[in-house]
């Protein structure tokens, strides 16, 4: 089912994870016994209402937080038991894209993309790599633009290029199309689909958008911190759905 470079993306295995937050006397179970296996190189939508645990799941996968219970294996790494140092290395190989882009306003598009590489020694030209990635997301010629000079969709593409600069084995995107119109959202989705095909990157995308979700390989729906259901999307259904949607456009 998955084409692309074998071994580029990581398989993910989540077993029985729980994450609770306590605010004062109240404890909220953001995730409550979630188990899920994800094939290397697949594009998975994480759907569900606000507060259902989508961002929490992505943060745990990105080792930005630790679960109270359960285990998370990403490729060879057991994410929940990494040492401090291993966590730093692990996070370097994860791409994270946020709804609000999080670009550094004083840096050009090129410098934003290169920024994650700057603290490290590299045997390649960092700015050349950033330039290639900007071109890959359709922003050749805009290297010197500041974020404030770019549209929302363009800023999000810079954020995706930046998330790819360390050649991640897992890309986590938290509502990357949330602030964008549907056409721009569709372009971003094409970008994610292309990534999956070319590099075999495993991609998890939290989204409220049913069109985006229907184009992924699988849809995992969360509700109240639990998995409601998991749907494997058949490519022909996705095409039919997309055709319906496009026909409605003026």
Ligand X SMILES: Nc1ncnc2c1ncn2[C@@H]1O[C@H](COP(=O)(O)OP(=O)(O)OP(=O)(O)O)[C@@H](O)[C@H]1O
Residues in touch with ligand X (CB under 6 A) = 21, 23, 28, 30, 48, 50-56
Q: How far is the CB of 50 from ligand X (least distance, A)?
A: 3
For residues 72 and 12, the answer to whether their CB atoms sit within 8 Å is: yes
Contact partner, 30, from ligand X, Mg ion, none, Cβ < 5-8 Å per class: ligand X
- Choice between 54 and 218, CB closer to Mg ion: 54
CA separation for the pair 11, 218 (Å, rounded): 14
- Name the DSSP class of 79: G
How many other C-beta atoms lie within 10 A of the C-beta of residue 103?
22
Which residue, 18 or 197, is less far from ligand X as judged by CB? 18
Tokens of 222: 């969360």
- CB distance 192 to 199 below 8 Å: no
Question: Which residue, 155 or 207, is less far from ligand X as judged by CB?
Answer: 207
Residue 194 or 210 having the CB closest to ligand X: 210
Q: How far is the CB of 212 from ligand X (least distance, A)?
A: 14
Nearest Cα to Cα of residue 139 among 103, 110, 96, 168: 110
Cβ 23 vs Cβ 79: under 8 Å? no
Tell me how far, at minimum, the Cβ of 54 lies from Mg ion, in Å.
5
Nearer Cβ to ligand X (55/202): 55
- Using DSSP, how many helices (H) and how many strands (E) does the chain show? 8, 10
Among ligand X, Mg ion, none, residue 53 binds (CB under 5-8 Å by kind): ligand X
83 binds, among Mg ion, ligand X, none (CB under 5 to 8 A by kind): none
Indicate which of ligand X, Mg ion, none lies near residue 201 (CB less than 5 to 8 Å, by partner kind): none
Instruction: Point out which residues bind Mg ion (CB under 5 A).
Output: 54-55
Closer residue to ligand X in complex, CB, 188/206: 206
**Other CB atoms within 10 A of residue 117 CB:** 18
Tell me how many degrees the CA angle 163-168-108 measures, rounded to the nearest 5: 25
- Nearest distance in Å: CB 97, ligand X: 14
What would the two tokens of residue 156 be? 């999000």
**Interaction partner, residue 245 (Mg ion, ligand X, none; CB < 5-8 Å by kind):** none
Q: How far is the CB of 142 from ligand X (least distance, A)?
A: 29
Q: Are the C-beta atoms of 216 and 183 separated by less than 8 Å? A: no
């Amino acid at each position: 089912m998955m084409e692309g470079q074998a071994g580029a993306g990581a398989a993910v295995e989540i077993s029985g994870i729980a994450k609770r937050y306590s605010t004062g006397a109240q404890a909220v179970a953001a995730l409550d016994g979630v188990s899920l296996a994800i094939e290397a190189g697949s594009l998975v939508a994480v759907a569900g209402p606000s507060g259902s645990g989508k961002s929490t799941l992505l943060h745990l996968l990105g080792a930005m937080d630790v679960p109270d219970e359960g285990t998370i294996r990403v490729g060879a790494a057991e994410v929940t038991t990494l040492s401090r140092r291993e966590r730093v290395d692990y996070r370097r190989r994860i791409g994270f894209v946020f709804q609000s882009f999080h670009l550094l306003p004083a840096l050009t598009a090129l410098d934003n993309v290169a920024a994650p590489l700057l603290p490290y020694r590299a045997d390649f030209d960092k700015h050349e790599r950033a330039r290639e990635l900007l071109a890959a997301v359709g922003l050749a010629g805009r290297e010197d633009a500041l974020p404030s000079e770019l549209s929302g969709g363009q800023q999000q593409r810079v954020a995706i290029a930046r998330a790819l600069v360390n050649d991640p084995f897992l890309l986590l995107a938290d509502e990357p199309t949330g602030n964008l119109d549907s056409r721009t959202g569709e372009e971003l989705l094409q970008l994610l689909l292309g990534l999956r095909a070319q590099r075999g990157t495993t991609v998890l995308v939290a989204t409220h958008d049913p069109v985006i979700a229907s184009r992924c390989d699988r849809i995992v729906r969360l509700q109240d911190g639990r998995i409601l259901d998991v749907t494997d999307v058949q490519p022909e259904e996705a095409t039919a759905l997309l055709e319906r949607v496009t026909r409605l456009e003026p």
